[in-house]
Structures are given as C-alpha cells and as structure tokens.
Amino acid sequence: MCGILALFGVGYSYCSDREFEAALSQMVHRGPDDYGIRYGSDYRLGHRRLSIIDPRHVSSQPMFSEDGKVSIVFNGEVYNFQRLRDELEGRGLSFETNSDTEVLLKMYLEYGESCINDLIGMFAVVIIDERVSPTKTVVFRDRLGIKPLYLYQDDAVIVSSEIKSILSLAKRKFTLDRFALSSYLSFRYPIGNRTFFKDIEQVPPGYVIIFSGGKLTSRKPYWKLSDKINALSRDEKKEEQEYLDTLGALFEDAVKLRMISDVPFGAFLSGGVDSSLVVAKMSELSQQPVKTFTIGFPNEGFNEFQPAKVVADIFKSEHREILIDQDDYFDVMRQLIQIKDAPLAVPNEVPLYLMTKELKKYITVVLSGEGADEIFAGYGRIFRSADDFQKQDNLDHDPELSAAWQKKYGDQRFESEVDHFYWMYNYVKPQEKLSLLNDEPDWKEIEEEFRDFFRHKFAEVPALNYTEKMQYVFETVHLQGLLGRVDTATMAASVEARVPFVDHRLVEFSFSIPTELKMKWSDAAAENAGARMLGDQISENLDTPKYILKEYASSYLPDEILYRKKLGFPVPLTEWFGADFASLARAKFADKGNPAYQYFNMSTLTHLVNNQSKSTNRGLLVWQVLNFYEFCDIYKDYIQ
C-alpha cells in the first residue's frame, strides 16, 4: 500500500527534479517507510512505500527489469502473487525478492498488459516500457476501483494516487467542476470518475490506458462487470445449498488471501453482520487472536460497543474500544479534507480516521466489511422499493397503499424505472438542491446529465430486473464513493485497508444469486401482505435483507447480531449543529472571499442553517455545504 506519482511525455521537462520530489513528498502519509524516484529520458517515476509484503529495502520501488528497460510503480496488493510466482518459476523464472511487485513486473515482462487478467487484488499501476520506441507507458487500475488513481494530460501526463501532487506539478489553476459539486450534494460524491477539478479525472476502474511517447493510443476496459452479468445463464436454477457452498468457498479464499502480510494485521468490528463475519472467518483461519477495533461517541445511542463486544467475546479477539468526542471530530475534519483533496462524503469518515490513527499503534493492515451491502442487497429499504414502481398503478384502487405513497413520495409519479431510481438515490431531492444553489441554467442541465448517466448504467445490463439493476448501479457507481472514503481515512494514518467482499470473483458470483435469496420473504403471508405495502414498510419487517449471507453466517454468529436492524455509523450531527457549531457554519457561509460563496443562494442557505436542528437530513446537508466551503478555502490557490 503506497503512493505513486508519474510524469511523462513530451512536456515532462517543464518540472524540475526538486519539484517532482516535493510533489511526491506530499503523499508521505501513504508511504512513510521508504521512497524512491527514477529519472528517465522522458519520464519521472516516484513511489512512497508503506511496507507490507517483504519490507526489506530490496523490494522498494520503482522496481525495474534486469536490463533496466521496464520500470514499475505500484500501489496496492496482488493477493495471489504467491500462486502466480509458482507459475512463473515453473516457466524457469527466478526472483530476487519475496514481493508481489516483482511478481507483477515479471508477469508484465512475460505476458504484456494481458497479465492484468490474472491478478486478484487492489492495485493502481504505472509501467514504463523503454524496450519499444517511442516509450510505451501502461496505466491500469483494479477492477472495482479499490485503489485511487488520478490522471491529468496536457503537454505532459501526470498520474498520481492523490490529486494534490497533480495540482503541485501542473502549475496552473483549475475550473471547479460544477457537475462534481451538484453530484456531491445529491449523491455525496462525484459520479462518473469526475473530480472537483476539471481536467483531472479518476482512471476508471477496470481500465488499462496506454500511451506512446506520451500520446494516448488506447483507453479501454480489461474487465466489465456488465459483460460478466450479461454472460450469465438466466435459466439455470440451483438449490440454495449450492449457492451457500460457492459463497463459502469464495469468501474464505478472499479472506485468506487478504491475511497474507509481513506486518501485524487486524479488523474493524462494528458488530454488524459484515464486519463480524470477516472477524469470524479471520479467527477460524488464524492461530493467534485477531486484533479488533470499534469506535463510538459518548452520546447515548451513538456507538456500537455492545454488539461489537458480543462478537469479540465469541471469537476471543484482542478487542479495543475507541471513544471520541465533539472536539476531536471538528478539529480533524479540515485536516482530512486536505488529505482527501475533496469534501468529505459522510460524517463517519472522521471517526474512521481517528480509529485508524489509534489502531496504527498496534497494526498496519486492517480488514473491513465494506462491499457486502452492494452485492447481497443490504440496503433493503432501497432495493425492496424497486417494487414500488409497479405499485403506483394500484394507487387509485387501494386507499391504504395510496396513503403510504403520499407519505413517501408525495405527488410524485414515475414514468420509468430510471426516474424512480433517480428519485430514490438522491439524498437531497433536486428541487431542494436547486433552491440552495445560485440561479444559473447550468444546474438544470447538469441534472439531465445525471439522469442520462443512470439511463446508460441501466442499459448496460438489459436482462436484469429492476432490483438487480439497482444493485448493479450500487456496485459500479455507489461503491466508488464508499471505497474512496475507506482509502482516504486509512491511508491518512498510514494503514492499509483490505476489503474481502470486493473480491471480483465474489462480486461476479453474487449476480448469479436470485433476488429472492438476497431479500427473502419471512413467509407466504408476509409476501401477500407486502403486495399492498411500500419497500420501506416491508424491509426488515416482512423480509430478511442479505438473507443468503446471513444464512451462511448463521454457523458463526448469533441471531442478535444477524438480525439487528441495519444502522449506518451514527454521528450526533443534529445535536452538534444545534449548538455553537451552527454559529461557526453561519460565519463560514458568509465569507465572500471563499470561492464556494458564488455557488449558493445565501438566503436559502441561511434559512437551512437556522432550521436544520429539527432534522437529521438537514443537519447533514449543512455539514456537506460546510465541507465544500472548507475544501474551497484549502484549495483556493488552485481554483480559478
């Protein structure tokens, strides 16, 4: 787990060696253990190392071939590197290190860029190949976007693990991307690989990009989840036990591979099904007690210490509870925005970072349960609401259903599944968001861009039903925001987070599991009753979200953990914003010198701050706007 930086192309020489070194050093938190730079005739490669596999200096990067003509910088882990190494040794190759980096380099030397298809892991990679003229540069990112990678292209190309290093080297100001701002307010993160800086993009997950002499020659996916889904047989029916057996085998291997480490490791433990199952499997595979960590606030109802302790006691883990307070939270928020190069997406990024800082005293690698909700229908209130779209046809004939609809949707009616999904997926509904922004035509045009984006996502998997299309969007779009949060909060404390549920083999398999085994009705009577109810009334009352995963976990975990009501990580925002912090927010929002000021309707924003304490959702929106103001204040020298 590291930070990488590459500068190449015809204009590379505009940057001095000292400037490149300074840009690389801005990512020291990603790699405090070692660093290296390679200077070529038309490129610079930099690497900050967090030593995980073979921590000896001989495994440092950039690493290069015996003839010195192929160089690599790599952030992440190739979990199956030992198996791949065995195959390469069978072909007569020898190794000087025990690292996955050397395996990856020799995989490329042996198979070219097609070697990517054999990798299991999380990775962001730049390879400079001087065996051909002009020099070829290969850039690729893991299939599901676990590790970040940003790209900027002008006369030179800059590729980096963090945007701040690109800003440092680009020597120009950037237009703030309004699409990203509007997306952030609606969805909590910029969708579609956008960033808040126009002309700086995220390399799309599952893509390989090739440059020749610094000129783009190829940009294409080497893996598409939609292709895997569309190739599935929709007619093949299996018994529930077959799905459970395959799930168990894949999950066990995913966890086992992610426990390979030459430094101490542990796990986040919230007491929910996902993290608890990860801890259960780790305990089964480990000969030593697993180190586990839970964080919470002193406010009543704002921590999960009790269920986490239940799990810790069952598996006799070496467990620690970490308590934080309001002062800790707000002191750290601005610092974390600066590390992320973007506004924070959700309030629990701060406690996640604070927990990671504490656990760094004990471990360097942590396993986490992220990704299970997306593939096993854990967002029950949303996924079960897919049926609401069809039920709107019955509103005139069912007064009880009509009343529930009015409470949930108001007067809204939906012409298509995409329209309904778009309404559901917006945390802040378009009308309220547009009233908050200044009066410019761009905002409504951007809103249509969002709708088109989701239409295209739905069209990628035409054979899926509406619920499955929702899950596909959550896996290919929503997951990006989630993974970005985990990466930022952990790497800020120089800790590597690993996510077994985002193993691409497990993800591919999950889309073969029928919906009725992911969200299972309690019984036939519940299913009949659900025909006259909406999704949020049904979920966890008449059905079991993540049924197939919970059934697998039932041999490890008690019912009190398996069937707890779903609860996002709680942060007492409403209490805080109703106190002195609201005054701070008002002062920030009134600052006309902040670049953020121009984007908002101050009258609406002031009203929101004054009334947010009555609503958790409004408190969250105030928090988001405050984050954006802080972000713009930090990066005002780079925003034009």
Least confident of 47-56, 273-282, 608-617: 608-617
> 33: which DSSP letter?
S
Three-state DSSP state, 589? helix
Task: Tell me if 435 is assigned to some domain.
Answer: no
Kindly tell me if the per-residue pLDDT of 64 is higher than 80: yes
Report the pLDDT value the prediction gives residue 438, as an integer from 0 to 100. 94
More confident residue, 571 or 584: 584
Q: What are the angstrom distances between the C-alpha of 204 and each of 129, 149, 193, 477? A: 22, 8, 6, 11
Task: Tell me if 504 is assigned to some domain.
Answer: yes
More confident residue, 361 or 618: 361
Judgement on whether residues 579 and 511 belong to the same structural domain of the protein = no
Task: Tell me if 554 is assigned to some domain.
Answer: no
pLDDT tens digits, one per residue of 281-320: 999 999 999 999 998 877 766 778 999 999 999 999 999 9
- Give the domain CATH number at 176: 3.60.20.10
Kindly tell me if the per-residue pLDDT of 321 is higher than 80: yes
Report the pLDDT value the prediction gives residue 89, as an integer from 0 to 100. 98
From 201, 223, 245, the end of a domain falls on 223
pLDDT tens digits, one per residue of 93-142: 999 999 999 999 999 999 999 999 999 999 999 999 999 999 999 999 99
pLDDT tens digits, one per residue of 13-26: 889 999 999 999 99
From 175, 191, 223, the end of a domain falls on 223
- Give the domain CATH number at 291: 3.40.50.620
Q: Which residues pair with 125 in a beta bridge?
A: 74, 140
Least confident of 90-99, 270-279, 609-618: 609-618
Kindly tell me if the per-residue pLDDT of 580 is higher than 70: no
Kindly tell me if the per-residue pLDDT of 88 is higher than 90: yes
Q: What is the mean pLDDT of the chain?
A: 94
User: Which residue segment(s) compose the domain that 37 sits in?
Assistant: 2-223
Report the pLDDT value the prediction gives residue 616, as an integer from 0 to 100. 58
The pair of three-digit structure tokens given for residue 66, joined into one six-digit string = 């015996």
Kindly tell me if the per-residue pLDDT of 564 is higher than 90: no
Judgement on whether residues 90 and 197 belong to the same structural domain of the protein = yes
Report the pLDDT value the prediction gives residue 570, as an integer from 0 to 100. 61
Task: Tell me if 560 is assigned to some domain.
Answer: no
Task: Tell me if 460 is assigned to some domain.
Answer: no
Q: What is the mean pLDDT of residues 227-244?
A: 90
pLDDT tens digits, one per residue of 470-501: 999 999 999 999 999 999 999 999 999 999 99
Kindly tell me if the per-residue pLDDT of 41 is higher than 60: yes
Report the pLDDT value the prediction gives residue 377, as an integer from 0 to 100. 96
Kindly tell me if the per-residue pLDDT of 611 is higher than 80: no
pTM (predicted TM-score): 0.96
Please tell me the total count of domains within the chain.
Answer: 3
Judgement on whether residues 346 and 247 belong to the same structural domain of the protein = yes
pLDDT tens digits, one per residue of 367-422: 999 999 999 999 999 999 999 999 999 999 999 999 999 999 999 999 999 999 99
User: What is the DSSP secondary-structure string of 246-311?
Assistant: HHHHHHHHHHHHTT--SS-EEEE--SSHHHHHHHHHHHHH-SSPPEEEEEE-SSTTSB-HHHHHHH
Judgement on whether residues 156 and 84 belong to the same structural domain of the protein = yes
User: 199: left (phi > 0), else alpha (psi -120 to 50), else beta?
Assistant: left
From 202, 223, 244, the end of a domain falls on 223
Judgement on whether residues 171 and 50 belong to the same structural domain of the protein = yes
Judgement on whether residues 262 and 319 belong to the same structural domain of the protein = yes
Judgement on whether residues 195 and 280 belong to the same structural domain of the protein = no
Judgement on whether residues 202 and 105 belong to the same structural domain of the protein = yes
Report the pLDDT value the prediction gives residue 1, as an integer from 0 to 100. 67
Judgement on whether residues 240 and 214 belong to the same structural domain of the protein = no
Judgement on whether residues 161 and 191 belong to the same structural domain of the protein = yes
Judgement on whether residues 96 and 168 belong to the same structural domain of the protein = yes
Judgement on whether residues 262 and 206 belong to the same structural domain of the protein = no
Q: Which residues contact 278 (CB under 8 A, 6 or more apart)?
A: 255, 267, 367, 368, 369, 500
Kindly tell me if the per-residue pLDDT of 186 is higher than 90: yes
Can you tell me the distance from the alpha carbon of 609 to that of 302, in angstroms, rounded to the nearest whole number? 23
